Chains A and B, each alone.
Chain A
Amino acid sequence: MENFTYHRPHHATDAVKLMKAAKDGKFMSGGMTLLPAIKHGLASPSDIIDLGGLKHAGVAVSGSVVTIKAGTTHAAVADDAGLKKAIPGLSKLAGGIGDPHVRNCGTIGGSIANADPAADYPAAVVGLAATVHTDQRKIAGDKFFTGMFETALKPDEIITAVEFPMPKRSAYVKFPNPASLYAMVGVFVAELADGSVRVAVTGAGPSVFRVPDMEKALEKGFSPDSISGVTVKADDLNSDIHASSAYRAHLVNVLARRAVEQAK
């Protein structure tokens, strides 16, 4: 593992200054993705700027929104009693990420900044029409993920929180890769407060995507049968040793129906 200089600032402004001054700096939250990447030689930052000192952690449920600060671990999200009531689908999603030790370190900010095509949170960010807050601006969830491991973030921009509007009902169902536990396919279905429906799919394509045909069908009738005939094309989906694109396309429909059934 290549060496680097470690920093632990206490304010976002200092973190940004350190990032600007670094030759090739990287922010770190839980380190559960970044440290393995450095070990594999996929990243070799000159400086690591640990955001743990910013104390950006906690879940707040107020009125019709839930705000989760960027440094909140998956375990803390999954255990939050307020969230369990407000958005059970999101709570369950966090509790299904990786394993208990990963959940004790990994954070929501780190997960969405990383934008792994098989990560779970992107499905909730898009599926619930969330807003990503950074130290500089607010970014609509729909505009945040721009491709495989690509986001709308600038290199020196820090995610501070994610704001989720409370839906009428929602659920997330994933088919985990049995070895890595990441989503082979994961589908988040939500009926939002205004009655519109979202179906967001992770794991299947290069980046999270919505399925408008399913959304329209579910707006007419929110039941698994409404979408039994609505399929997605396999052409643009991922294909690897774990699953072919045709299998992933099949899973999208199966998991979407299960999510509709489980939505609460």
Chain B
Amino acid sequence: MPIVSMKVNGKEVSGEVEGRTLLVEFIREGLGLTGTHVGCDTSQCGACVVHVDGKAIKSCTALAVACEGAEVTTIEGLAKNGTLHPMQEAFRENHGLQCGFCTPGMIMAAIDLVNRKGKKLDEATVRHELEGNICRCTGYHNIVKAIQDGASRM
């Protein structure tokens, strides 16, 4: 079986995988980082979004072996020394979650959005850019508010 090595949340990791092992399986089952969720497994919902080499991708639709040598950031890699990332803090304060299942993917997508489009985001842009992230609970309203707030704090 192939061995894959990558950097996850700043730490070098490696492990045995099959050709078909998905990145999300390697992260959750191989590394025990269960913050990244699988909502649909059909590339629609965005609960599995992580950053690979600085770009947001759906980790349920990526092969672990193909990420050899990559730098991966998951939701667990955001807080520093026990302090939440500003985007996490903004979700907490703006009540940007209910059950929380979509939240890790929402936050990873939100940070990617700020990286691409800057800290001043209007509501229409945020809503449009959330096309790849589905939430069954909140109705999105507070997610959008949280992202605008988090962006301005980043």
Contacts of B46 in A (CB 8 A): 99, 101
Write the nearest CB–CB distance from B6 to chain A, whole angstroms: 14
Q: How far is the CA of A81 from the CA of B19 in the complex (A)?
A: 37
Cβ-based interface call for A100 (8 A): yes
Interface flags, B108-121, vs A, CB<8A=1, else 0: 01001100100000
Interface residues of A in 11-48 (CB under 8 A from B): 31-32, 35-36, 38-40, 48
Q: How far is the CA of A101 from the CA of B41 in the complex (A)?
A: 14
Known pairs A3-B20, A36-B42, A181-B131; A100 contacts B56 (CB<8 A): yes
Q: List 9 A-B contacts (CB under 8 A).
A: A3-B19, A4-B20, A5-B19, A8-B66, A31-B63, A99-B46, A99-B133, A101-B56, A181-B131
B61, closest chain A residue (CB): A35
Contacts of B42 in A (CB 8 A): 36, 39-40
Q: How far is the CA of A6 from the CA of B133 in the complex (A)?
A: 29
Cβ-based interface call for B57 (8 A): yes
B105, closest chain A residue (CB): A101
Write the nearest CB–CB distance from B72 to chain A, whole angstroms: 14
Which DSSP category, helix, strand, loop or mixed, fits chain A's interface? mixed
Known pairs A6-B66, A31-B63, A50-B66; A102 contacts B20 (CB<8 A): no
Instruction: Identify which of B41, B43, B63 gathers the most chain A CB atoms within 10 Å of its CB.
Output: B43
A contacts, CB < 8 Å to B: 1-6, 8, 31-32, 35-36, 38-40, 48, 50, 52, 75, 98-102, 104-105, 181
Q: How far is the CA of A50 from the CA of B63 in the complex (A)?
A: 10
Known pairs A3-B18, A36-B61; A100 contacts B66 (CB<8 A): no
Q: How far is the CA of A6 from the CA of B61 in the complex (A)?
A: 15
Q: Are B56 and A2 in contact (CB under 8 A)?
A: no
Q: How far is the CA of A108 from the CA of B58 in the complex (A)?
A: 18
Contacts of B32 in A (CB 8 A): none
Q: How far is the CA of A50 from the CA of B55 in the complex (A)?
A: 19
B contacts, CB < 8 Å to A: 2, 18-20, 22, 41-43, 46, 49, 55-58, 61-63, 65-66, 68, 109, 112-113, 116, 129, 131-133
The 8 closest A-B pairs by CB, nearest first: A99-B132, A6-B19, A99-B131, A104-B55, A101-B132, A3-B20, A6-B65, A101-B58
Q: How far is the CA of A5 from the CA of B42 in the complex (A)?
A: 22
Q: How far is the CA of A100 from the CA of B61 in the complex (A)?
A: 14
Q: How far is the CA of A35 from the CA of B64 in the complex (A)?
A: 12
Contacts of A48 in B (CB 8 A): 19, 63
Q: Are B2 and A100 in contact (CB under 8 A)?
A: no
Instruction: Identify which of B42, B57, B61 gathers the most chain A CB atoms within 10 Å of its CB.
Output: B61
Contact of B62 among A3, A4, A105 (CB under 8 A): A105
Q: How far is the CA of A205 from the CA of B61 in the complex (A)?
A: 28
Instruction: Identify which of B58, B113, B129 gathers the most chain A CB atoms within 10 Å of its CB.
Output: B58
